[in-house]
């Protein structure tokens, strides 16, 4: 493929599996490769955004960091979908709850991703596009969760540009519409998947609650991370 390597990924053609798991943190990608995959090989490290390919239960799978925010995941997901012929990207991240339905430790599957960012303006819709998860991946993930006995909440999330929002009541309108939690990447990922005719899903663990102020400690984070990982890996 003539477009590879890309400005942000130095892997060769065929280095990525058809399914890529994307945590925000590249060191998380390294941890997943080392602890969950077999025969994992580093395929890219531009800007220390590590990407690995290995196998899980004999099936090829890749894992690569996305960085934080819509511009960052927008770059990596576009290059993976459009230039490395990746078919599925599963974001695995954390989010802050803004709903009574989500407690810390819960796993949320983002059926839709609202956003306060201007990402969609590049498409000049003249209306509002609804970024949604791929239904096959979504229903498969829900079934895996049932089999594993993992409680999941499925619904709308908010992909926010600001983490430190200057507006005091910034979350109220979203809460009134039943949005479950805030993170920073899913809407761009879902729009890139739609644009490239590919599949995407975001699975999130609730790391903190903006309602109660509760936060997971590191051991609790690790346990809910493990449940989310088990679901995501089975999707390959
Ligand atoms: N906002 C955005 N992203 C997040 C949050 C949050 O409160 N918590 C975990 N990821």
pLDDT tens-digit map of 114-137: 999 999 999 999 999 999 999 999
pLDDT tens-digit map of 148-204: 999 999 999 999 999 999 999 999 999 999 999 999 999 999 999 999 999 999 999
Q: Can you tell me whether residue 148 is helix, strand or coil?
A: helix
pLDDT of residue 225: 87
Q: Is the model's pLDDT at 143 over the cut of 80?
A: yes
pLDDT of residue 1: 55
pLDDT of residue 236: 87
Of residues 56 and 221, which shows the higher confidence score? 56
% of the chain with per-residue pLDDT over 90: 93
pLDDT tens-digit map of 20-35: 999 999 999 999 999 9
Which ligand 1 atom is at minimum distance from the Cα of 210?
A: 7
- For the whole model, what pTM was predicted? 0.96
Please provide the DSSP assignment of 182-236 as one string. Answer: EESSHHHHHHHHHHHT-EEEEEEEEEEETTT--B--HHHHHHHHHHHHHHHHHT-
**Alpha-carbon distance 54 to 56, whole Å?**
7
Ligand 1 pocket test: which of 208, 212, 224, 225 has the largest number of ligand atoms within 8 Å of its C-beta? 208
Q: Is the model's pLDDT at 101 over the cut of 60?
A: yes
Ligand 1 centre from 115 Cα, in Å?
A: 13
Q: Is the model's pLDDT at 205 over the cut of 60?
A: yes
Strand intervals (E) in 7-133 = 19-22, 38-44, 51-56, 59-64, 88-97, 107-115
Average pLDDT, the chain: 96
Ligand 1 centre from 66 Cα, in Å?
A: 15
């Amino acid at each position: 493929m003539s477009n590879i390597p890309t400005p942000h990924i130095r892997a060769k053609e065929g280095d990525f599996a058809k399914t890529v798991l994307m945590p925000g943190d590249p060191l998380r990608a390294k941890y997943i490769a080392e602890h969950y995959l077999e025969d994992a090989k580093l395929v890219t490290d531009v800007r220390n955004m590590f990407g690995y390919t290995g196998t899980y239960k004999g099936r090829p799978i890749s894992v690569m960091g996305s960085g934080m925010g819509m511009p960052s995941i927008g770059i990596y997901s576009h290059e993976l979908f459009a230039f490395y012929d990746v078919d599925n990207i599963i974001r695995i991240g954390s989010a802050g709850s803004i709903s009574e339905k989500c407690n810390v430790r819960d796993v949320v599957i983002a059926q839709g991703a609202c956003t306060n960012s201007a990402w969609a303006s590049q498409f000049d819709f003249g209306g509002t596009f609804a970024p949604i998860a791929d239904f096959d991946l979504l229903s498969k993930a829900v079934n895996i969760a049932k089999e594993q006995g993992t409680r999941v909440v499925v619904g709308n999330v908010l992909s926010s540009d600001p983490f430190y929002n200057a507006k005091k009541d910034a979350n109220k309108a979203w809460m009134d519409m039943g949005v479950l939690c805030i993170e920073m990447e899913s809407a761009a990922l879902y729009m890139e998947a739609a644009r490239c005719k590919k599949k995407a899903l975001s699975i999130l663990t609730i790391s903190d609650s903006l309602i109660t102020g509760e936060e997971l400690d590191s051991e609790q984070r690790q346990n809910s991370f493990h449940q989310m990982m088990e679901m995501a890996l089975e999707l390959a």
